[in-house]
Structure 1
Amino acid sequence: MCTGKCSRVVGLGLLPLALTCIVCNLLLCFPDWDTQYVHEGGKLLTPAVLYLGGLVGGGIMILIPAIHIQATGRQGCCGNRCGMFLSILFALVGLAGSVYAVSVSALGLVYGPLCQVLESNGSLGKWEQPFTQDELSEQSYLFNTSTWDTCAKPPGVVRFNVILFALVLAASLLELLLCGVQVLNGLFGCLCGTCSKKRAEHTQS
C-alpha cells in the first residue's frame, strides 16, 4: 500500500473515533438523562467530565487532523510531499489530543463518579466521589459491582460513567495508534512521495 492510500485509511478511521469521543463526552454531562447536573457550572458533574477529554482531546484535536490526513490520500494540493509533511504535524497534534483523552478517561474510571452517597441508615448523604480511596483497598470498585449502589443519585451513574469513559478510552487508544502510524507514514511520504503521480499517469494512459 502506498503512503497516499495509507493516509486515506488512517483519516477515514479517525473520523468515527473522534465522533465517538465527542458524543460520549457530551452524554457524560447528562447522567440519568437529566439536564439539571449541568447547571451552576456543572458542580454536580464528575470532575473528569469537565476536563473535556473526549470533546477536546479525542474529538476536536483528532477531527481536524483527520480531515487533512484523509485529504493527503487524494490527488490535489494535499496529495504531495508538502501535504505529507503537514500531515505529520497534524498527526502530532492528534497524538497530543489522544494522550489527553486517554489520561482523562483513565482518571474518570479510576476515581469514579461524583454522586450523592447512600448512608448506612438509608438516608441520602453528601455529594462526593466515594471510590477515590479504592487504591488503598485490594479491589477496585470497577470489579466489585456490589459497591455501585453506594451512589444513590444520579441513579445508575456508576454504570453510566464506566461505560462511557471506557468507550472514550478505547476510542482514544485507537486514535493514538492511528496517529502514530500516520507520523511514520507521513515521513515515508515526504521521502518517497504519495503515489499520486503514478496513479495520474496510469489513469491518463
Structure 2
Amino acid sequence: MCTGKCARFVGLSLIPLSLICIVANALLLVPNGQTTWIKDCLSLQVWLMAGFIGGGLMMLRSVFCSAFGMLGAIYCLSVSGAGLRIGPRCLMHGSWDYHFQHTAGSYLLNRTQWSSCVEPPGVVYWNVTLFSLLVAASCLEILLCGVQLVNASIGVFCGDCRKKEGAPH
C-alpha cells in the first residue's frame, strides 16, 4: 500500500473512533442517562474529559498531525485507565467518595460490590462500560497514529507512490 493510500485509510479510520470517544465521554457526564448527578457527584476522571479532548478533538486534528493525535490518545488512555482503576465517585455508607480506589481495580472482577454504590444508580456499570470503551478506542488510535507517523516519515523520505496528474509517463 502506498503512503498516500495508507494515510487516507488511517485518517478515515480515526474519524469514527474519535466520534465514539466524544459520545462515550458525553455519556459519562450523565450517569444512567440522568442529569441530576452533574454537580458534585462525578469523578475527576469524568471531568478531565479525556474522551472528548484526548480521544476526540485532538484525534480529529491527527488527520493533519499524527503526533498531536498520538498525544491525545495517550491522554485518553491514561485518564480512562485511571478512571477504571480508581472507580467512580458515588454514595456508599452515607458518604460520597472514591470507595473502590484502594482495591487497585479488583472491584472490576467483583460485580457484587457494584451495587454498594447507592447513588447515582448503576454508576459503576456505567463508568466501567464507558471507560472500557475509551480505553479500547484510544489503544486503537495510538496504533493507527503510530502507523500514520511511520507512513508519513516514509512519505517524506521516499516520496508518495501516487502518480502525479499530467506528468509524462
1:129 alignment partner in structure 2: 98
Indicate the percent of aligned positions where both proteins have the same amino acid. Answer: 46
2:90 matches 1:115: yes
Detail structure 1 runs of 4+ shifted over 4 Å in the superposition.
Answer: none
2:78 alignment partner in structure 1: 103
CA distance in 1: counterparts of 2:158 and 2:41, whole angstroms: 53
**Which residue of 119, 141, 149 maps to 2:107?**
141
Q: CA deviation at 1:5?
A: 0.1
Q: CA deviation at 1:199?
A: 5.7
Q: TM-score, normalised by structure 1?
A: 0.78
Equivalent positions of 1:1-205 (< 5 A) are: 1-39=1-39, 43-66=40-63, 68=64, 90-117=65-92, 119=93, 125-135=94-104, 140-196=106-162, 198=163, 200=165
> Which has the larger Rg?
1
Q: Could you say what the CA RMSD is over the residues aligned between the two structures, in angstroms?
A: 1.6
* Structure 1 unaligned spans of 5+: 69-89, 120-124
Is this contact kept in 1: 2:62–2:145, CA < 8 A? no
* Structure 2 unaligned spans of 5+: none
Secondary structure of 1:127's counterpart equals strand
CA distance in 1: counterparts of 2:96 and 2:54, whole angstroms: 28
Can you list the C-alpha shifts for 1:56-80, whole angstroms capped at 9, x where unaligned? 00110001222x3xxxxxxxxxxxx
Secondary structure of 1:133's counterpart equals helix
CA distance in 1: counterparts of 2:2 and 2:166, whole angstroms: 15
**Amino acid in the other structure paired with 2:28:** L
Q: TM-score, normalised by structure 2?
A: 0.94
Is this contact kept in 1: 2:29–2:46, CA < 8 A? yes
